[in-house]
């Protein structure tokens, strides 16, 4: 399982140009006061044009790799990879210039699928009260994940771990790499927490409290547009007949029922405010076919 987060770390390092000062992504992130990589990386500098081309090629490879691995959303062995990538994404999302370099290529839809797979699988209550880190309960000892030790020391993880996260000196080296089944739930807790933090930093993904699901920005906007547009009969179908009209026709239709839309009026009988078009009884098969047509309509698809 350790190979998963090692692969993720390798992808992140390649995306950052292995510390090259001319790497576009590295240049877009303010260097810390204790950043000692500049002195070392000056020996391996490349011109800006070459660095830009290298970054674009690397970005395409990294994003394609993430897209493929994210498809294994239900694979517990892929959780370390997901967690490591999200730690990096959370760091980059805090820097507008940096996230602008990858946001158009990042597989946000795949990430949403991963998060929506992880949240329902939680075995414990989501630890969202702490905005700085999903710490364990007070009576539980500090027990970092195996990938936490691998991420420790990287610039993109410095603000992620609490100051005392690695203070448990009682842990032996063998215990640090021990992989009990409970690690799966801890990693899902991290994914859910990181997902919420990324939601608060931009509009790439959103958390829907009502449905308890993550959505992409485009998907959420499309759903809002569909739900806010009312049909002539009062339903949530902007261009189709209202479901109430169809149900009324199946039951035989009653005097005073809402007027059907133009697509259901009899030819040659105009609909006016004083005289409504007569409603014909619709068989169950006709009703089913009409509903199927509506569901197949590209505007009603959800």
| Per-residue model confidence as pLDDT tens digits over 154-204 | 999 988 998 888 887 666 555 555 566 678 888 999 999 999 999 999 999
Burial class of 20 by CB neighbour count within 10 A (0 to 12, 13 to 18, 19+): buried
CA quadruple 212, 217, 222, 225: dihedral positive or negative?
positive
Note the pLDDT of residue 177: 56
| Per-residue model confidence as pLDDT tens digits over 80-110 | 999 999 999 999 999 999 999 999 999 999 9
Note the pLDDT of residue 132: 73
Which residues does the chain have with pLDDT short of 70?
1-2, 32-45, 123-131, 169-181, 219-302
The model carries a pTM of 0.68
Our measurement of the distance from residue 42's CA atom to the centroid of its chain's CA atoms, rounded to an integer in Å, reads 37
């Amino acid at each position: 399982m350790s190979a998963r987060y090692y692969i993720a770390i390798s992808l992140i390092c390649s995306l950052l140009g292995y510390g090259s000062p001319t790497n576009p992504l590295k240049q877009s992130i303010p260097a810390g006061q204790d950043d000692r990589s500049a002195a070392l990386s000056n020996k391996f500098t490349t011109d800006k044009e070459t660095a830009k081309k290298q970054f674009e090629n690397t970005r395409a490879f990294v994003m394609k790799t993430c897209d493929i691995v994210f498809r294994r959303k239900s694979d517990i062995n892929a959780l370390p990879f997901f967690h490591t990538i999200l730690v990096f994404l959370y760091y980059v999302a805090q820097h507008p210039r940096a996230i602008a370099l990858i946001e158009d290529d990042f597989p946000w839809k795949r990430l949403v699928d991963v998060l929506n797979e992880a949240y329902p699988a939680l075995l414990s209550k989501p630890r969202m009260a702490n905005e700085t880190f999903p710490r364990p309960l007070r009576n539980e000892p500090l027990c970092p994940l195996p990938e936490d030790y691998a991420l420790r020391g990287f610039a993109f993880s410095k603000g992620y771990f609490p100051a005392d996260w690695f203070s448990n000196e009682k842990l032996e080296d063998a215990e640090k790499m021990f992989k009990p089944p409970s690690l799966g739930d801890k990693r899902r807790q991290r994914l859910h927490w990181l997902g919420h933090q990324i939601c608060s930093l931009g509009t790439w993904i959103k958390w829907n409290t009502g449905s308890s699901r993550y959505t992409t920005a485009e998907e959420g906007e499309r759903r809002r547009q569909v739900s806010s547009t009312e049909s002539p009969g009062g339903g949530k179908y902007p261009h189709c007949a209202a479901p109430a009209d169809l149900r009324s026709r199946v039951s035989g239709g009653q005097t005073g029922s809402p007027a059907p839309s133009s697509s259901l009026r009899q030819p040659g009988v105009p609909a006016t405010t004083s005289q409504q078009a007569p409603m014909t009884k619709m068989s169950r098969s006709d009703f089913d076919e009409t509903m199927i047509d509506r569901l197949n309509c590209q505007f009603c698809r959800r």
